[in-house]
Amino acid sequence: MSVVQHWHRETPSPQHGAAETGRPEATGTSRRRPAAVWWRFVLRRAGRTLGSLFVIVSVAFVVVRLSAGDPVRQALGPTAPPSLIAERRAQLGLDLPLWRQYADYLGGLLHGDLGTSILTGQPVTDVVEGRLPKSLALAALAVLVTLLIAVPVGLTTAVLTREGRRRGLELGFNGATGLTTAVPEFLLGTGLVIAFGIWWPVLPVAGSDSTASYVLPVLALAAPSSAVIARVARVEGLKVLGRDYMRTARSKRLPTATLYLRHALPNMLTAVLTLAGTTAAGMVAATALVEQVFNWPGLGYALIQAISGRDYNIVGGIALVYATLIILINLFVDVLLALLDRRTTLLER
Amino acid sequence: MPKTRLGAAGATPTRLLATVLVVALVVLAVIGPWIWGDQARVPDPAHLAQAPSGAHLLGTDNLGRDVLARVLTATRRSLVMAVGATALAVVLGALVGALPVVLGRRVQRVLASVLTTWMAFPVLLVALFTTILLGPGATTAVIAMGLTMTPVFGRLMQTLTAGIESSDYLVAARMLGISRRRQFTRYVLPNIAEPVLVYITLNIGGALLALSSLSFLGLGVQAPDFDWGRMLGDALPAVYTSPWTTVAPGAAIVVAGIAFGLAGEVLAGIARGQDSPVRAARTPAPAAALGTPPPGAGEHTTAALLTVENLRVEFPTAGGWTTPVRDVSLRLHPGEIVGVVGESGSGKSVTAMAIARLTSSTGSVRSRRLDFDGTDLAALSDSELRERIGRRIAVVFQDPSTFLNPALRIGTQLTEGLPDHGGAPAGARNKAVQLLDRLRITRPETRLGQYPNELSGGMRQRVLIAMAQMAEADLIIADEPTTALDMTVQHHVLRTLHERCHEDGSAALVVSHDIGVLTSLCSRIVVMYAGRVVEELSVDALLDGPAHPYTRALLASLPTLDTEVEKPLDTIPGHPPHPDEPIAGCAYAARCTRAEDRCRTDLPTLTPGTADATVACWFPLTPRTVTPRSAT
């Protein structure tokens, strides 16, 4: 037997190095360890979420209080009589000391009180309640459609263009996605309104009265992000297809569907879902744009009205809702990724 | 140097388009307001909301202002805002990125988590806060945009400077006592300038799109000022009556977005040094003639399981075609274990992969004959291969850390895709457990539910071996199957493989650079050098003393129990030739002590030497002259 040993084979490859050096040989105890690691991760991540929320809430308070001098004066205009302003200030609790206001504000938030409109005295919660579901429906559908388009298109293009094949398709794909990314949601929406409102009126271009009215707003929201994610999915797909384990899978002469769906897809999901999380966060805000274009009775629509009316209590309240949603989406994606990522490197990070 | 690389931008169509677009935008931004500024602002009650015509190429808006003039004028404001926001982000990002240097570790971690959350906030949300604070307006929007992009640049600067901090040249500069200021301007700045420039260009495009969406919503530019976004926002209520007012600003936004997007990609391509790739695959594979048929070619020995004659494998590279396998012929009988040995680069692994049809699809695989159990493998399409050969040919791969799928359980990877007669899933699982057990893997049932990262390297290698055995293949092709294993396990695994072939008559082709491993396992050895078989002989003949000087050198470099510890091992001087090097004569001649003029000009062909050996050498050695003993 040869004594020439190849020690370098024993050194872990950089790719899996982190996971490997930590536990050279998995033993019985490793069954319990991931659970502990897992809960520590969830707790730490939840703590960070609460911290972020607290910071955002405080920033919103400070910003609204400092808003260009006096929010009430801003809202009621320079011609409003001083008596009305004083009355409204007292109504809103703005004559109290700042720390009292902050405490009341935090206490109110805990009870689901987002403040009241400076103009109408209507609770911000009332404005949000009816409109939030409409906006969320748009955003959620758009994220779903984005993933349903981008991942299959990206993976298929990766398969077709792997190892430098079909340069024409690669060029076309890059051109088409590049062009789509350069058309922002509101612009695409405007184009769709012109196309379907004037030239070919088969789909509703305003309001949310029927299921069909979801089609165009969702399309306007989903198209640009689909292009971005499809590009990433293709690049990730190419990376995965070039991996050694794909050769192992090929050596088993598996059916094409099994080869790509079982062996390639799960390995590209981490990167795609990470980006999808950012996209979903952006989508929440982008609804405001699309709602404006399609007269969609959602949160964004109310937001624009509040901005033009300088009603900063409503603007601040809605901003808080957006921020909370985005922070929660991030938490959700992080936990989802940790669940999906069997290599558990994510947990140890 | 980075500067020269960026400066060397040639004229590919993409580069040209990007340059033309960006230059046009900049020129328009400079001259636009001077030329069309008045026309863009003055309302004309006589021509309200007119469709495009000769006088107004793109029509007029609801106040009678010329749309084209307005779009051209708005170029400056749109561009200046985007550039301003990006500049703000770069400055703030540099500050944020530099902070960790002066902060403690605790604060650094907090900062990192703040950056992560901050990065998730879209521009609209940031704009809401700045608008509440400062009121809506162009400046507010620019600040919001700058703040939104800040963490991106902060991260970038942090990553880049961290990489340079520890770089050799900066360490050297520090040791030479070069001043901090000079270190920064001479060493740090030039090295981060390039990626930062790419990022800046891409972000100007992104900022332009985002700022126009803010203006569109009324959070940005306020009337009577206007940018493209504001124009679109103003045009929206009248979209049914005068849709043309939306076309021009929309087109301007798209063109500007494409311009900076393209420019960024071009710059990134240049920075990566990949923008003008040599597409070697364009040139067709050279149709070099296949080698002369080997001795005994064409004989239809019915007993042979695998017959390979004159295999040639070529791959496209940047410089043309490379030929890792020039001329390989070999034959395997059922139950036989044949070893292929050679240094790295000899083409042994590529030969094995080409037989299993697992080489990259861009390569060209040709042969006079590639016959498996009466089927011409070369004539089969991929799907025919799946149907007719399926898993009758199994492969054991080299590297256990990369050849198992990290996302799938061991059990799935072992039991999937078995032929139907392999039995029910439960049957397959039982079999997998038995195999793992036989390969001395502890608690095999548990292993089936685990993922590759939970197993050690040695266990993973044995899983790969078990995977090849699951299908009860007639031919096992093993590429360095035991390199990851320690000596005792290696011995055991080899014995298992040996027993298996002995018991059910399957054949194995084992590739290794370790001639010692092969002599203990195989009955016949094929020695490869520079893509050709230089000698093929039985293990007995090998131990008696091979005829080819190269085989003998391989044997001599092998330590045995008799080797004196003090004496250095024999090594073969020189390197094997590169696969795309043209070689006249014997490829080994350059390193061979016995080489004469003929070796350098004429290629020796495989000719039968002694009873069970063929050799390709003009001056073969005779068996008696050998000194080293059995390698095992």
Q: Angle between the B123-134 and A265-294 helix axes, to the nearest 10 degrees?
A: 40
Cα gap B128→B349, rounded to integer Å: 61
Q: Is the pLDDT of residue A17 over 60?
A: no
At residue A133, φ and ψ (nearest 5 deg) are -55, -40
- CB of B428 within 8 A of CB of B448? no
CB contact under 8 A, B402 and A13: yes
pTM (2 decimals)? 0.81
pLDDT score for B564: 63
CB contact under 8 A, B133 and A1: no
- CB of A260 within 8 A of CB of A237? no
Distances (CA, A) of B526 to A344, B233, B311: 44, 76, 14
Minimum distance, in Å, between the CA of residue A282 and any CA atom of chain B: 5
Query: Which chain B residues touch A251 with a CB distance below 8 Å?
Result: 356, 358, 394-395, 397
Which of B135-149, B181-195, B258-272, B594-608 has the highest mean predicted lDDT (pLDDT)? B135-149
Half-sphere exposure of B252 (CA within 13 A, CB side): 31
* DSSP 8-state code for residue B590: G
CB-based burial label for A127 (10 Å; 0-12, 13-18, 19+):
buried
**Per-residue pLDDT averaged across B317-336, rounded?**
85
CB contact under 8 A, A253 and B205: no
H runs (alpha helix) in A161-214? 167-181, 185-194
Report the candidate in B493, B513, B532 with the shortest Cα–Cα distance to residue B614: B532
**Per-residue pLDDT averaged across B588-610, rounded?**
83
Q: Tokens 């620019």 appear where?
A: B142
Out of B262, B456, B632, name the one closest to residue A1 (CB): B632
**Per-residue pLDDT averaged across A222-242, rounded?**
90
Comparing alpha-carbon positions, the chain B residue that sits nearest to A17 is B401
**Per-residue pLDDT averaged across B552-563, rounded?**
74
- CB of B232 within 8 A of CB of B217? no
Report the candidate in A266, A163, A248, A279 with the shortest Cα–Cα distance to residue B279: A163
Minimum distance, in Å, between the CA of residue A256 and any CA atom of chain B: 9
pLDDT score for A151: 92
Q: Range with the lowest mean pLDDT among A5-14, A297-306, B562-571?
A: A5-14
List the domain boundaries for chain A: 133-308
CB atoms within 10 A of CB B457: 23
What's CA A237's distance to the chain center, in Å?
A: 22
pLDDT band, residue A143 (cuts 50/70/90): very high
Comparing alpha-carbon positions, the chain B residue that sits nearest to A190 is B236
Q: Angle between the A265-294 and A215-241 helix axes, to the nearest 10 degrees?
A: 160
Beta bridge mates, B66? B60
Q: Which two tokens stand for residue B143?
A: 């600040």
CA-based end-to-end distance of chain A? 43
pLDDT band, residue B420 (cuts 50/70/90): low
- CB of B155 within 8 A of CB of B199? no
At residue B521, φ and ψ (nearest 5 deg) are -115, -35
pLDDT score for A149: 93
**Per-residue pLDDT averaged across B252-257, rounded?**
91
Chains A & B: contacts with CB separation below 8 Å: 248
Out of B217, B232, B631, name the one closest to residue A2 (CB): B631
Q: Tokens 């504000």 appear where?
A: A105
pLDDT score for A23: 35
Beta bridge mates, B315? B322
CB contact under 8 A, B117 and A330: yes
- pLDDT single digits (tens) B334-393: 888 999 998 888 888 899 999 988 888 778 888 888 888 888 888 888 888 888 887 888
At residue A123, φ and ψ (nearest 5 deg) are -60, 140
CB contact under 8 A, B456 and A327: no
CB contact under 8 A, A182 and B205: yes
CB atoms within 10 A of CB A285: 26
Q: Would you state the torsion angle of the CA atoms of residues B123, B125, B127, B132, taken in this order, to the nearest 10 degrees?
A: -170
pLDDT score for B242: 81
pLDDT score for B560: 65
pLDDT score for A156: 93
CA-based end-to-end distance of chain B? 54
pLDDT band, residue B302 (cuts 50/70/90): low
Half-sphere exposure of A50 (CA within 13 A, CB side): 7
- CB of A312 within 8 A of CB of B240? no
pLDDT score for A114: 80
Q: Is the pLDDT of residue A5 over 50?
A: no
CB contact under 8 A, A5 and B134: no
CB-based burial label for A251 (10 Å; 0-12, 13-18, 19+):
buried
- In this prediction, what percent of chain B has a pLDDT beyond 70? 88
CB contact under 8 A, B404 and A253: no
Amino acid identity at B594: R
- CB of A234 within 8 A of CB of A161? yes
pLDDT band, residue B300 (cuts 50/70/90): low
pLDDT band, residue A222 (cuts 50/70/90): very high
Q: Which two tokens stand for residue B276?
A: 């003008």
CB contact under 8 A, A52 and B122: no
CB contact under 8 A, B117 and A316: no
Q: Range with the lowest mean pLDDT among A105-114, A186-195, A260-269, B101-110?
A: B101-110
Half-sphere exposure of B610 (CA within 13 A, CB side): 18
Comparing alpha-carbon positions, the chain B residue that sits nearest to A342 is B407
Out of A68, A190, A319, name the one closest to residue B128 (CB): A319
CB atoms within 10 A of CB B451: 20
- Which residues make Cβ contacts (< 8 Å) with residue B493, sequence separation at least 6? B439, B461, B462, B465, B481, B482, B485
Q: Is the pLDDT of residue A199 over 90?
A: no
Out of A162, A245, A312, name the one closest to residue B404 (CB): A245
Out of A64, A74, A190, name the one closest to residue B236 (CB): A190
Minimum distance, in Å, between the CA of residue B120 and any CA atom of chain A: 6
Query: Which chain B residues touch A3 with a CB distance below 8 Å?
Result: 487, 559
Out of B246, B394, B517, name the one closest to residue A2 (CB): B517
Q: Which two tokens stand for residue B54?
A: 């000769």
Tell me whether strands B524-529 and B607-608 are parallel, antiparallel or unpaired: unpaired
pLDDT score for A6: 29
Q: Which two tokens stand for residue B70?
A: 């307005």
Cα gap B629→B632, rounded to integer Å: 9
Q: Is B615 helix (H, G, I), strand (E, B) or coil?
A: strand
pLDDT score for A71: 63
Q: Is B557 helix (H, G, I), strand (E, B) or coil?
A: coil
- B224 prior amide bond cis, ω within 30: yes
pLDDT score for A128: 86
Q: Which two tokens stand for residue B304?
A: 């042979």
- CB of B297 within 8 A of CB of B329? yes
Amino acid identity at B431: K
* DSSP 8-state code for residue A79: T
Q: Is A148 helix (H, G, I), strand (E, B) or coil?
A: helix
Report the candidate in B410, B484, B426, B492 with the shortest Cα–Cα distance to residue A26: B410
- CB of A227 within 8 A of CB of A177? yes
Cα gap B394→B358, rounded to integer Å: 11
Comparing alpha-carbon positions, the chain B residue that sits nearest to A301 is B217
Distances (CA, A) of B407 to A20, B72, B287, B452: 15, 54, 42, 8
Out of B113, B218, B362, name the one closest to residue A164 (CB): B362
Cα gap A86→B8, rounded to integer Å: 68
- pLDDT single digits (tens) B503-542: 878 899 999 888 888 888 888 999 999 888 888 888 888 8
CB contact under 8 A, A26 and B456: yes
CATH architecture of the domain A133-308 equals Orthogonal Bundle (1.10)
Please give the full DSSP string across B298-355, using - where no structure is assigned. Answer: T---TT-SEEEEEEEEEEEETTEEEEEEEEEEEEE-TT-EEEEE--TTSSHHHHHHHH
- pLDDT single digits (tens) A177-197: 888 888 888 889 888 888 888
pLDDT score for A178: 85
CB contact under 8 A, B258 and A267: no
CB contact under 8 A, B457 and A12: yes
Q: Which two tokens stand for residue B350?
A: 């590529």
Minimum distance, in Å, between the CA of residue B598 and any CA atom of chain A: 35
At residue B529, φ and ψ (nearest 5 deg) are -145, 125
Q: All domains of chain B, ordered by start, with CATH?
A: 82-272 (1.10.3720.10), 543-561+568-632 (no CATH)
Q: Is the pLDDT of residue A307 over 80?
A: yes
CB contact under 8 A, A187 and B250: yes
Please give the full DSSP string across B416-442, using - where no structure is assigned. Answer: TT--GGG--HHHHHHHHHHHHHHTT-S
Q: Is the pLDDT of residue A24 over 70?
A: no
Mean pLDDT of all residues belonging to chain B: 81
Out of B128, B253, B395, name the one closest to residue A187 (CB): B253
CB contact under 8 A, A307 and B559: no
CB atoms within 10 A of CB A122: 13
Please give the full DSSP string across B66-103, using - where no structure is assigned. Answer: BHHHHHHHHHHHHHHHHHHHHHHHHHHHHHHHHHHHHS
Minimum distance, in Å, between the CA of residue B258 and any CA atom of chain A: 6
Q: What share of chain A is helix, strand, coil (3-state, %, to 5)?
A: 80, 0, 20
Cα gap A183→A227, rounded to integer Å: 10
Half-sphere exposure of A41 (CA within 13 A, CB side): 20
Cα gap A251→B180, rounded to integer Å: 57
Comparing alpha-carbon positions, the chain B residue that sits nearest to A256 is B383
- In this prediction, what percent of chain A has a pLDDT beyond 90? 9
b/e map B428-445, b = 16+ CB within 10 Å: bbebbbebbebbebeebe
